[in-house]
Structure 1
Amino acid sequence: MIEVNDIHKAFHGEEILKGITTTFHRGKTNLIIGTSGSGKTVFLKCLLGLFTPEKGTISYDGENYSELDEEEKRRLRQRMGMVFQGSALFDSMTVEENIMFPLKMFTRQKKSEMMDRANEVIDRVNLENANKKLPSEISGGMQKRVAIARAIVTRPKYLFCDEPNSGLDPNTAMVIDNLIQEITVENDITTVINTHDMNSVMEIGEKIIFLKKGFLEWEGDKTQIFKTDNEAVTNFVYSSNLFKKVRKAQLQGF
C-alpha cells in the first residue's frame, strides 16, 4: 500500500501538485488519469522518489519516505519495478540480458540463479524462445512484455507503469493491460499506472484518480466513473468516442 498525504511540488515557483491525498492499494491496479499538464508525470516521479515534495508525505507500507536515511531509501527503491513508456530496452542486449540487468545491478545471485529467474519471468509473460533475440527483432507488443518481465524480475512490492500501452494497437494494449493486472494479483503488488488509454480505465481501473491542474479532482473505480456528476471528469470521459458508446451501454444496463 502507498499512502499519499497532502503532497505539494513546485518548479521555479510554479506549484504543479497542490495538496494531493490518496491511497493506492496492494493487489490492485491503481490508475492515474488526467489531461496534459494535470501533473500526472510529476506525481508518478514523486511516487518513484525521483522528485521530493516540498510538503506532505508518501508512505510505503507504513514507511515514510522522507524519514528514511539514504541506505533505507536505496533498499526501498530496489523494491520498485518500472515499466517505461517506450519500454527503454537496451538495444545491444538480448531479451534475456535486458531482463537479467536488474539482477546484476541489485543482487549477488549466481549466474545460474539469475538465468533461472529470467527464464521464469520470460515464461510468465509468454516470451518463450525469444531469449536470444534483440529488441529490434521483436514486435512492439513483445518489447512491452520484455519491459514488464524486467520490471518484475526482482520481485518488487511496487510496480509503476508510465503509459504502458503507448504505441500499441487496441488488441495488443488489452493483452498488456490484462497481463499487468494478472501479475499484480498473483504477486500482491501495489501497481500504479499513469495512462491516457480509456480502454485501460474500463478494463483494469480498480482504483482511478483524476488529476486536474495539480489537484485531485476525483477518485473512484471503473464503474463509478460512468456515473459521476463531476463536470471535469465527465468532459474528460466524453472526449473519448469509445467512452460515449460504452457509457450508453452501461447506463442502459443499470
Structure 2
Amino acid sequence: MIEVDNIHKSFGESHILKGVSTCFDKGKTNLIIGQSGSGKTVFLKCLLGLFSPEQGSISYNGQIYADLTRDQQRMLRQEMGMVFQGSALFDSMTVAGNVMFPLEMFTKQARSEMEDRVNMVLQRVNLHDAHKKYPSEISGGMQKRVAIARAIVMNPKYLFCDEPNSGLDPKTAIVIDNLIQEITKEYDITTVINTHDMNSVMEIGEKIVFLKNGYKEWEGTKNEIFKTDNEAVTNFVYSSELFKKVRQMYLEERN
C-alpha cells in the first residue's frame, strides 16, 4: 500500500500539487487521471521518489520515504518497477538484453539465474520467440510488453505505468490493460497508472484519482464515476459522445 498525506510540490512560484491525500491499495489497479497541467505527472514522479514534496508525506507499507536513509531509499526504489510512456527500450540491446538490464545492474545473480528469470517474465507477457530481436524489429504493442517484462523482472512490490497505452491502437491497448491488471493480481503488486485513456478507466479502474489544477478533485471506482455529480469529473470523462451515451444507458438501467 502507498499512503499519500497532504503533499505539496512547487517549482519556483508554480504550485503544482496542493495538498493531495489518497491511498493506493495492494493488488489493485490504481489510476491517476486529469487534464494536461493537472499535476498528474509530477504526482507520479513524487510517488517514484524522483521529486521530494515540500510538505506532507508518502509512505510505502508504513515506511515514510523522507524518513528513510539514503541506503533504505535506494533499496525501496529497487522494489519499484516502471513502464515508461515510450517504453524507453535500449535500441542497441535485444529484447532479452533489455529485460535483463535491471538484474545486471542491481543483483549479483549468476548468469543462468538471470536468464531463467528473463525467460519466465517474457513468457508471462506472451513473448515466447522474441528474445533475440531488437526493439526496431517488433511492433509497438510488443515493445510495451517488453517494457512490462523489464518492469517486473525484479519482482517489484510497486508497479508504476506512465501512459502505457500511448501510441497503441484500441485493440492492443485493451491487451496491455488486461495484462497489467492480470500481473497486478498475480504478483499482488501495488500498481499506479498515469493515463488519459478513458477506455482504461472503464476497463481496469479499480481506484481512480482525478486531479484538477493540483488538487484531488475526486476519487472512486469505475462504477462510481457513472454515478458522480461532480461536474469537473463528468466534463472530463464524458467529453466524448460515446461516453455520454454509456453513462446515460447506465443511469437508465439503474432507474
Deviation (angstroms), 1:252:
2.6
RMSD: 0.7
Deviation (angstroms), 1:246:
1.8
Q: How does 1:1-254 map to 2 (within 5 A)?
A: 1-254=1-254
Deviation (angstroms), 1:241:
3.1
- The answer to whether the 8 A contact 1:198-1:240 is kept is no
Q: Distance in 2 between matches of 1:249 and 1:146?
A: 38
Q: Distance in 2 between matches of 1:191 and 1:183?
A: 9
SS, match of residue 20 in structure 2: strand
Q: Distance in 2 between matches of 1:3 and 1:243?
A: 31
SS, match of residue 222 in structure 2: coil
1:70-100: CA deviations, max 9, x gaps?
0000000000000000000000100000000
Counterpart amino acid of 1:174? I
Q: Distance in 2 between matches of 1:234 and 1:203?
A: 17
Deviation (angstroms), 1:13:
1.8
SS, match of residue 17 in structure 1: strand
Deviation (angstroms), 1:249:
2.5
Which deviates the most, 186-195 or 230-239? 230-239
Give the ranges of 4+ consecutive aligned residues of structure 1 lying more than 2 Å apart after TM superposition: none
Deviation (angstroms), 1:237:
1.3
Q: Distance in 2 between matches of 1:248 and 1:199?
A: 17
Counterpart amino acid of 2:72? E
Counterpart amino acid of 2:83? V
Q: Distance in 2 between matches of 1:36 and 1:241?
A: 21
- The answer to whether the 8 A contact 1:163-1:195 is kept is yes
> Would you say how many aligned residue pairs link Structure 1 and Structure 2?
254
Counterpart amino acid of 2:76? L
1:198-235: CA deviations, max 9, x gaps?
00000000000000000000000000011100010011
SS, match of residue 223 in structure 1: helix
Deviation (angstroms), 1:6:
0.3
1:158-213: CA deviations, max 9, x gaps?
00000000000000000000000000000000000000000000000000000000
Q: Distance in 1 between matches of 2:95 and 2:128?
A: 11
SS, match of residue 109 in structure 2: coil
Q: Distance in 2 between matches of 1:31 and 1:240?
A: 20
Counterpart amino acid of 1:182? E
- The answer to whether the 8 A contact 1:32-1:209 is kept is yes
Q: Distance in 1 between matches of 2:170 and 2:240?
A: 14
- The answer to whether the 8 A contact 1:207-1:221 is kept is yes
Task: Report percent identity of matched pairs.
Answer: 75
> What TM-score, normalized by structure 2, do the two folds share?
0.99
- The answer to whether the 8 A contact 1:27-1:188 is kept is yes
Q: Distance in 1 between matches of 2:45 and 2:156?
A: 17
Q: Distance in 2 between matches of 1:36 and 1:16?
A: 12
Q: Which runs of 5+ in 1 are unaligned?
A: none
Deviation (angstroms), 1:247:
1.2
